Amino acid sequence: MPWIKSEFPIFETARKEGRPLIFLDNASTTQKPQCVIDAIAGFYAGYYANVGRGLYWPATAASSGYDQAREKVRVFIGASSKKEVIFTSGTTDAVNKVVNSFLLPRLEQGDEVLVSEMEHHSNFVPWQHACQSKGAQLKVIPLDAGLNLDLSKLASMLTDKVKVLAVTAISNTLGVKNDLKKIIKLAHQYNIKVFVDAAQLPLSAKINVQNMGCDFLAFSGHKAFGPTGIGVLYGKQVLLENMSPLAYGGGMVQQVTIDKTIMADLPTKHEAGTPNIAGAIGLAAAIDFINLVGVEEIGKHSAELRKYAVERLSEIEGLTLFAKDAKTTAILSFTIEGIHPHDIAAFLTEKGIAVRAGHHCTHPLTHKLDIGGTVRVSFNIYNSEEEVDFLKNTLDEIKSFFL
Ligand code: PMP
């Protein structure tokens, strides 16, 4: 879709030794369309002020921009109320906040928390740390031979002892999609609260938290065309209401005396201090852009490119593709026998191809696969089959160079 690519100025301006950028690292972060850049610059240049405090003109405009951004996110994720949408600095921040404010006060020795074997460290380490601090047990749901989450094993791990099940929507290393509705239904039979790491979800499929049934869900703006430093925590209203604030300070209170503080209502209660106003405004512009192109369209295009890449890269002898036949999205990991993933990535960058190499913050997964890392390519709406062809040809060159 050439018109869409032209909305991203980096592809016009970024050149390395005259070569255009082929950006295949979209699971890590996405490039920014002009409308997002304009929305952020427009805020700083046109109506910049702090939110929620001033009665003067730019302050009211900034407050209204921030509030509209929350409403846009609410619709984007299908939440029933703006009270359920908390701005955070990203997915990692959201996980930590739920761990500290929801889990820790409810976790006792002997309790359990479930995570999966494919989790990003951001949705693994905070839960692990909380369990270790309370004498609780972190249990890991294994993957089956096809690298899908083993739902029969999961079913056998569900007990009344489990307080939270934290699971990713999509593996950031393999691209494998989890059947969230099924997982959540199973967990709820035991009254287990489910936290969904949706970092890789917003450009893959339409999110509807009510339909999905999750208790918490988080994603990062920067992986969905938005700026860095802004993310979203969705929580069911009753849970957010009954949680202590995610942080304490100014802005999140109704009244403060020397003896006690009365907290503000949702969502303000969970947003202490000056928020990332420009980030929220940029994220709202990103959501407008996603809606304009269509999330289904973006997801379909990227999944088709993955499929095409599976076909083309399968032609290379000695190349192993991971989760080749799993239910997947835009992300594809591979290794080439005899060549270190970092050498492959370093060679690719000389040709202008940006990929990731390593463990992708999923050590438990790469440990299970018994590999020292993978090369990961991840697609987006601005990528094309020609780029996949160029990747394939460059990998052929790499093979003849190294082997
Ligand atoms: N979970 C998953 C599945 C991810 O892919 C990432 C980012 N790579 C994160 C969590 C963390 O996101 P952030 O760094 O934006 O907090």
- pLDDT in the model for residue 163: 98
Q: Is 122 in the pocket of ligand 1 (CB under 6 A)?
A: yes
- Could you list the beta-strand ranges (E) of 117-259: 137-141, 162-168, 193-197, 216-220, 231-235, 253-256
Three-state SS for 328?
strand
Q: How would you class 109 by CB atoms within 10 Å of its CB: exposed for 0-12, middle for 13-18, buried for 19 or more?
A: exposed
Q: Is 333 in the pocket of ligand 1 (CB under 6 A)?
A: no
Specify the CATH number for 5-26+294-402; select among 3.30.1380.20, 3.90.1150.10, 3.10.450.50, 3.40.1360.10.
3.90.1150.10
| CA dist., res. 8 & res. 60, Å (int) | 31
Angle between helical axes of 57-77 and 277-293 (0-180°, round to 10) = 40
- pLDDT in the model for residue 109: 98
Identify the sign of the CA torsion 91, 95, 96, 101. positive
> Of 306, 309, 301, nearest to 205 (Cα)?
301
**Residue linked to tokens 């569900």:** 158
| CA dist., res. 281 & res. 36, Å (int) | 8
- pLDDT in the model for residue 2: 67
| CA dist., res. 109 & res. 345, Å (int) | 45
The answer to whether 106 and 320 have CB atoms below 8 angstroms apart is no
> Of 401, 2, 31, nearest to 222 (Cα)?
31
> The whole model's pTM is what?
0.97
| R_g of the chain computed on alpha carbons | 22
Task: Say how many Å lie between the CA of residue 396 and the centre of ligand 1.
Answer: 31
Token readout for 36 is: 């997002």
Token readout for 214 is: 């999750």
Q: Is 172 in the pocket of ligand 1 (CB under 6 A)?
A: yes
Task: Say how many Å lie between the CA of residue 324 and the centre of ligand 1.
Answer: 22
The answer to whether 94 and 279 have CB atoms below 8 angstroms apart is no
**Structural class in CATH, domain 37-292:** alpha beta
> Of 269, 213, 276, 210, nearest to 243 (Cα)?
269
Q: pLDDT averaged over the chain?
A: 97
If phi > 0 it is left, if psi is from -120 to 50 it is alpha, else beta; for residue 9 that is: alpha
Three-state SS for 19?
strand
361 is catalytic: yes
Choosing from 89, 92, 178 the residue with most ligand 1 atoms within 8 A of its CB, the one to mutate for a pocket test is 92
5-26+294-402 matches 37-292 in fold: no
| CA dist., res. 68 & res. 81, Å (int) | 13
Task: Say how many Å lie between the CA of residue 263 and the centre of ligand 1.
Answer: 30
Low-confidence ranges of the chain (pLDDT < 50): none
- pLDDT in the model for residue 327: 85
Q: Is 199 in the pocket of ligand 1 (CB under 6 A)?
A: yes
Q: Say which of 35, 131, 214, 361 is annotated catalytic.
A: 361
Task: Say how many Å lie between the CA of residue 120 and the centre of ligand 1.
Answer: 7
- pLDDT in the model for residue 1: 64
Q: Give the pLDDT confidence of 361-403 residue by residue, as tens digits.
A: 999 999 999 999 999 999 999 999 999 999 999 999 999 999 9
The answer to whether 372 and 358 have CB atoms below 8 angstroms apart is no
| CA dist., res. 340 & res. 195, Å (int) | 35
Task: Say how many Å lie between the CA of residue 358 and the centre of ligand 1.
Answer: 15
Q: Is 96 in the pocket of ligand 1 (CB under 6 A)?
A: no
Q: Is 119 in the pocket of ligand 1 (CB under 6 A)?
A: no
Q: How large is the ipTM?
A: 0.99
Residue 44 CB neighbour total at 10 angstroms: 11
The residue extents of the domains of the chain are: 5-26+294-402, 37-292
